[in-house]
Amino acid sequence: MRRNLDRNRRVVVTGLGLVTALGTGIEKNWDALMAGRSGIGPITRFDTTDYPTKFAGEVRDFEPLDWIEKKDVRKMDLFIQYAMGAAEQAMRQSGLKITEDNADDVGVLVGVGIGGLCTIEENHLIFLESRLKRITPFFIPKLISNLAPGQISIRYGARGANFSTTSACASGSHAIGEAYRMIRAGYLEAAITGGAEAAITSLGVGGFVAMRALSTRNDDPAAASRPFDRERDGFVMAEGAASLILEEREGAIARGAKILAEIVGYATNADAYHITSPSPEGQGAAKCMQRCLEDGDLDPNEVDYINAHGTSTPQGDIAETQAIKKVFGEHAARIAVSSTKSMTGHTLGAAGAIESAYTVLAILNNAVPPTINYEYPDPECDLDYVPNHSRPAKIRLALKNSFGFGGTNTTVAFRPAVES
């Protein structure tokens, strides 16, 4: 079709899919969030005897054959399998049909932070034992990040823009934001977007252990992820995927789709400060939120909810708190700010997508998920973090923050579906 390069087109969400430590599917995830239930537990994938951290947010109920044909499972690393499961859920809910008429205008953008670490470790051991004799021909296609969107594109016949965003813990939000931009500008009519990660391996966990980034609360894993709490001691590694179906609003209405929410702003920038630490006083994050509001010509005083990056790290939680206060001033105290990582753990490249899906669900259900494990207030973190219990809330405007190593920042703005 002829492209309508109009920067002001509206973009809506029509489908969601979730694979997390809280469960596979929207219902399991939302029920766990509202109950304030943690998905964190002992690591089962490898022997953690000599590891100072012995727990993570593993996905425990995902069955690949529920979502992927048997002949294709062996061609996909676990992160791709999760991405496929989330995409199928989202496509079913959306009802979007990809045909010869629209295939060139439907894109697939999936954020992946690390990629196929499971496949790398497995095949490295095989290589050491047998050199080239037993390396699978699927080794490279299984591990590279862009095969998450690639496999989804092949599955559904989507021939539009197809790529993976890789920006550490902001990867999923970057994918959603860039898909939003492409639809808004007329380069796409719809997109399957989101994020995926599956890096709970001996080397993956070992790398973060070496950085001293992980919590070591082995006596109580469910209480280990405690964003904004004074006793936080690091993040909890996790895995999973989320998929969102984005569409140009008029096209979605014309085909009778149920609109779940509207994306109304997006911004991305860099701290240009440090490879792992946030910029002092959250300067980069504050500028990113401000630019997101400006992008959508949004009133800061209408923001009722922020799904925080909130990783449960000493520096990061303070920096995000400072950033929110810089942007919103006195209104910051009236905003509900929760970190759902307190329940899921930190899913790395998938986090922004999973938490964007949670933000849409919060808008739809008029309820805000809690920050669990909040027991000891930190004087440097003094906002309303929705401690321990979900609450009803009419959300006019919500932001989703994501920040990553290398100083990369993203903010995406969502609001309820409206008729006009």
- Evaluate if residue 114 carries a pLDDT over 90: yes
Dihedral angle of Cα 38, 44, 48, 53, to the nearest 10 degrees: -10
φ, ψ for residue 250, nearest 5 deg: -65, -35
Please provide the DSSP assignment of 325-388 as one string. Answer: HHHHGGGGGGSEEE-THHHH-B-GGGHHHHHHHHHHHHHHHTEE--BTT--SBBTTB-SB--BS
> Alpha-carbon distance 285 to 328, whole Å?
13
pLDDT in tens, 371-414: 999 999 999 999 999 999 999 999 999 999 999 999 999 999 99
Do 320 and 211 lie in one domain? The reply is no
Classify residue 298: in a domain, yes or no.
Answer: yes
Domain with 186 in it: 11-254
State whether 228 and 343 are in the same domain. no
327: domain CATH number is 3.40.47.10
Residue 280, classed as helix, strand or coil, is helix
Three-state secondary structure call for residue 91: helix
pLDDT at 2: 44
Which strand (E) or helix (H) includes residue 50?
Answer: none
Same domain, 285 and 187: no
What is the number of domains present in the chain?
2
Q: What angle do CA 187, 364, 269 make, to 5 degrees?
A: 45
Mark whether 286 and 248 lie in a shared domain: no
Mean pLDDT of the chain: 96
**Would you say residue 6 lies in a domain?**
no
Q: Is 372 a domain residue?
A: yes
CA 302/CA 396 separation, integer angstroms: 6
Q: Are residues 188 and 333 in the same domain?
A: no
Per-residue pLDDT band at 1 (split at 50, 70, 90): very low
- Is 391 among the domain residues? yes
Tokens for 156? 């559904």
- 4 has a pLDDT exceeding 60: no
- CA 44-32-403 angle, to 5 degrees, is 75
Distance CA 69, CA 92 (A): 17
pTM: 0.97
- Structural domain ending residue among the three candidates 188, 220, 254: 254
Q: Is the pLDDT of residue 310 over 80?
A: yes
- Secondary structure letter of residue 279 according to DSSP: P
Same domain for 160 and 282?
no
Strands (E), 95-158: 106-111
Residue 212 sits in the same domain as residue 289: no
Q: What is the pLDDT of residue 3?
A: 54
- Choosing from 204, 229, 254, the residue where a domain stops is 254
Residues 212 and 326 in one domain: no
The answer to whether 359 and 414 have CB atoms below 8 angstroms apart is yes
Question: Are 248 and 344 contained in the same domain?
Answer: no
Q: Is the pLDDT of residue 271 over 90?
A: yes
- Asked if residue 420 has pLDDT above 80, the reply is no
**Which are the catalytic amino acids?**
169, 309, 346
Identify whether 54 is part of a domain: yes
172-193 pLDDT per residue, tens: 999 999 999 999 999 999 999 9
Same domain, 250 and 281: no
- 143-168: per-residue pLDDT in tens? 999 999 999 999 999 999 999 999 99
Q: Do 243 and 271 fall into the same domain? A: no
Share of the chain above pLDDT 70, in %: 98
pLDDT at 146: 98
Query: Could you tell me if 294 and 249 lie in one domain?
Result: no
> Where does a domain end: 222, 254, 286?
254
In sequence order, what are the residues at sequence separation of 6 or more whose Cβ sits closer than 8 angstroms to the Cβ of residue 2? none
Name the nearest CA neighbour of 215 among 236, 199, 239.
236
Q: For residue range 9-66, list pLDDT tens digits in order.
A: 999 999 999 999 999 999 999 999 999 999 999 999 999 999 999 999 999 999 999 9
